């Protein structure tokens, strides 16, 4: 129920505020705010983020546009698209966390905006609101787009690929423009993270062809298009050709066989787990929206003719989840591309849904957001996760949202309680970026030891070291075992406590000047100062 106040403006007191003309502007502003909140407030520290940000930094410093390197050595992990975005960020903002993360945050915001307006056009304003709300309230979604890694670009371009394909299908295959844009976005997804983009999208489209009433041959004829193929090749292939020529095929061999096939066939870097682990990643990562997914899937199967995008969204989600269930290496970010598609399902499910159907999802969301922030202050949690010891009492605010939502549930105002639960999760994530992560960041050993190595002393590393040192110092850190270098008195050596005995065996006279536990890792960073000039090192 909407009431009019003086001046003809509108004041909402019911649940149809998303129908108002001003609402998209407010909602988009909220999306912009939470996607960019705090991206500059804490260090580039997490291992993958540090290596990716540093690789882009080195390409920028060396004016190298083909071969990615980390600490002077070729980096075979990923194609270059995210590096190029980071380089643009460095040009605009400097070599710092803001420069590294800006375009990741922008990719997430763009994906959110497109999801909202696409749902608005295909379904309704109500559907658009609930789809966008499901995405913004996912803690993992916002965390993913606060990292300088390739996944934000893969996620966004895969989403754009599939909705372009849906537009092509829904035009009865008449509007070739959508096929061409699908080819364009698939090429960019391939440049983001490699052949996994082709595999996931190819399997999704194939299963859609199988399920559709029209013959597979008809579908194949519609997608086999020379111009679309040419667009894909012009965008995706040149860099792969150049890197193959420059490295004589070594980069492509390492990337395909080691970082793709080996990751799929076996657990790498300790990231293994049972088949159900992938489901757990998705279920936890998409809280609270996951509460509506099972009812949404039931609605799909009950529908005589579900919308094309809903079928495609469900197929893509199933394909992606199953693919990484059977993969040997399992990480939460692998299945993050399903989040915008699950959000589409949530938005579609809530379209024309009676308020009583919000009961179960709202209880789930409000209970969780009431309990989780409070649980962080329990002594046991503080013992297991010492990083949370300095959380401020602002983290009680999300619990207030949950508490208010539970009161509304008692009053049978389930739709409003769902909204409060989701807002509580958005508030919780915002506090992570604004308060928790910056405070936790001050405890990382790279930050704490900065005053020791920020001077002109030469930095070396021995065997293993935290890669964040490379980005923070904005320079290559050579190995102490490299025969081209001989440490001098005052030089610093970064290593881990596990390698101290081996360092001693090398005959280097050095004293420990710093020791700090790496956050969220099992290692301990140690910094040694050489106190006597060494002309040679025993090999």
- Helices 308-325 and 339-350 pack at an angle, to 10 degrees, of 140
- Asked whether the beta carbons of 332 and 232 are under 8 A apart, the reply is no
If one compares 11 and 224, the residue with the highest pLDDT of the two is 224
Looking at per-residue pLDDT, the higher value among 175 and 264 belongs to: 175
CB count, 10 Å around CB of 86?
29
Task: Give CA–CA dist 355/129, Å, rounded.
Answer: 15
Q: How many of the other CB atoms lie within 10 Å of CB of 449?
A: 22
- Residue 479 is classified by DSSP as B
Q: How many CB atoms lie within 10 A of CB 20?
A: 15
The pLDDT confidence band at residue 7, using thresholds 50, 70 and 90, is very low
Angle between helices 196-211 and 308-325 (to 10 degrees): 130
CA 378 to each of CA 22, 118, 437: distance values in angstroms, whole numbers, following the listed order: 42, 43, 19
Look at residue 224 in the predicted model and tell me its pLDDT.
96
Burial 103-130 (b: 16+ CB within 10 A, else e): bbbbbbbbbbbebbebbbebbbbbbbbb
pLDDT digits (tens, 9 = 90+) for 344-382: 999 999 998 888 889 999 999 999 999 998 887 776 566
Residues whose CB is less than 8 angstroms from the CB of residue 323 and which lie 6 or more positions away in sequence, other chains included: 199, 200, 203
Q: What integer pLDDT is reported at residue 381 of this predicted model?
A: 60
DSSP character at residue 150: S
pLDDT confidence of residue 14: 57
pLDDT band at 457 (very low <50, low <70, confident <90, very high): confident
pLDDT of 257 over the 70 cut = yes
Cβ proximity of 156 and 110 under 8 Å: yes
- pLDDT reported for residue 274: 86
Provide the pLDDT for residue 292: 96
| Three-state SS sequence of 402-441 | HHHHHHHHHCCCHHHHHHHHHHHHHHHHHHHHHHHHHHHH
Res 456: pLDDT:
66
Using only the alpha carbons of the chain, give its radius of gyration: 25
Q: Taking CA 148 as the corner, what is the angle to CA 145 and CA 154, rounded to the nearest 5 degrees?
A: 60
Percent of the chain whose pLDDT exceeds 90: 77
- Across the strands, what pairs with 215? none
Checking if the pLDDT of 420 tops 80, the result is yes
Q: What is the mean pLDDT of residues 427-436?
A: 93
User: What would the mean pLDDT of 136-155 be, rounded to a whole number?
Assistant: 98
Peptide bond preceding 407: is omega within 30 degrees of 0, i.e. cis? no
- Chain-centre distance of CA 151, in angstroms? 5
Query: Is residue 131 over pLDDT 50?
Result: yes
What pLDDT, on the 0 to 100 scale, is given for residue 113?
Answer: 98
Position 223 scores a pLDDT of 96
Nearest to residue 274, comparing CAs of 327, 231, 235?
327
Indicate if the alpha-carbon torsion angle 441, 445, 448, 453 is positive or negative: negative
pLDDT reported for residue 11: 33
Which residue intervals of 224-292 are DSSP H helices?
226-246, 250-253, 263-265, 276-285
Measure the CA–CA gap between 59 and 246, rounded to whole angstroms: 15
Which is it for the CA torsion 252, 257, 258, 264, positive or negative? positive
Cβ neighbours of 519 (radius 10 Å): 17
Query: pLDDT > 70: what percent of the chain?
Result: 93
Mean pLDDT (the chain, rounded): 91
The model's pTM is: 0.92
Give the chain's length. Answer: 539
What is the pLDDT at residue 9? 36
Statement: residue 2 has pLDDT above 90: no
CA angle 114, 115, 120 (to 5 degrees): 95
């Amino acid at each position: 129920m909407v009431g009019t106040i003086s001046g003809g403006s509108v004041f909402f007191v019911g649940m149809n505020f998303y129908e108002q003309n001003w609402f998209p502007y407010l909602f988009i502003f909220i999306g912009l705010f939470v996607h960019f909140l705090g991206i500059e407030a804490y260090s580039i520290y997490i291992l993958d983020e540090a290596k990716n940000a540093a690789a882009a930094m080195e390409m920028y410093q060396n004016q190298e546009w083909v071969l990615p390197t980390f600490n002077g050595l070729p980096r075979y992990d990923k194609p270059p698209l995210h590096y190029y975005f980071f380089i643009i960020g460095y040009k605009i903002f400097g070599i710092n966390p803001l420069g590294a993360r800006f375009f990741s945050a922008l990719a997430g915001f763009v994906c959110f905006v497109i999801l909202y307006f696409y749902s608005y056009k295909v379904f309704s304003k109500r559907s658009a609101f609930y789809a966008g709300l499901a995405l913004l309230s996912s803690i993992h979604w916002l965390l993913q787009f606060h990292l300088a890694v390739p996944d934000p670009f893969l996620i966004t371009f895969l989403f754009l690929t599939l909705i372009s394909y849906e537009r092509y299908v829904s035009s009865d295959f008449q509007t070739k423009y959508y096929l061409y844009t699908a080819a364009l976005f698939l090429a960019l997804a391939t440049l983001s993270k490699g052949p996994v983009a082709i595999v996931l999208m190819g399997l999704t489209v194939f299963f859609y062809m199988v399920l559709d009433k029209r013959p597979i041959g008809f579908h194949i004829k519609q997608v086999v298009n020379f111009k679309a193929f040419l667009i894909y090749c012009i965008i995706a292939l040149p860099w792969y050709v150049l890197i193959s020529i420059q490295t004589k095929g070594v980069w492509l061999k390492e990337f395909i066989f080691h970082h793709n096939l080996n990751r799929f066939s076996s657990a790498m870097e300790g990231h293994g787990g049972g088949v159900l682990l992938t489901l757990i990643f998705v279920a936890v990562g998409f809280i609270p929206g996951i509460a509506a997914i099972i009812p949404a899937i039931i609605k799909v199967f009950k529908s005589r003719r579900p919308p094309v995008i809903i079928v495609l969204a469900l197929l893509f989600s199933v394909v992606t989840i199953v693919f990484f269930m059977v993969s040997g290496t399992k990480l939460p970010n692998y299945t993050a591309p399903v989040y915008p598609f699950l959000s589409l399902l949530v938005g579609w499910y809530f379209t024309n849904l009676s308020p009583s159907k919000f009961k179960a999802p709202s209880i789930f969301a409000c209970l969780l957001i009431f309990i989780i922030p409070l649980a962080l202050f329990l002594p046991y949690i503080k013992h297991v996760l010492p990083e949370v010891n300095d959380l401020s009492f602002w983290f009680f605010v999300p619990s207030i949202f949950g508490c208010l939502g539970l009161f509304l549930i008692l009053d049978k105002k389930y739709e409003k309680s769902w909204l409060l639960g989701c807002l509580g999760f958005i508030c919780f994530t915002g506090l992570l970026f604004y308060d928790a992560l910056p405070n936790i960041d001050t405890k990382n050993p790279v930050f704490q030891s900065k005053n020791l190595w920020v001077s002109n002393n030469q930095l070396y590393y021995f065997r293993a070291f935290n890669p964040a040192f490379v980005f923070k110092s904005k320079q290559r850190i050579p190995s102490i075992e490299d025969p081209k270098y001989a440490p001098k008195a005052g030089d610093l050596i970064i290593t881990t406590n596990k390698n101290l005995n081996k360092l001693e065996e090398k005959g280097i006279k050095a004293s420990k000047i710093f020791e700090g536990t790496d956050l969220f890792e099992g290692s301990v960073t140690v910094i040694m100062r050489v106190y006597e000039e060494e002309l040679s090192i025993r090999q």
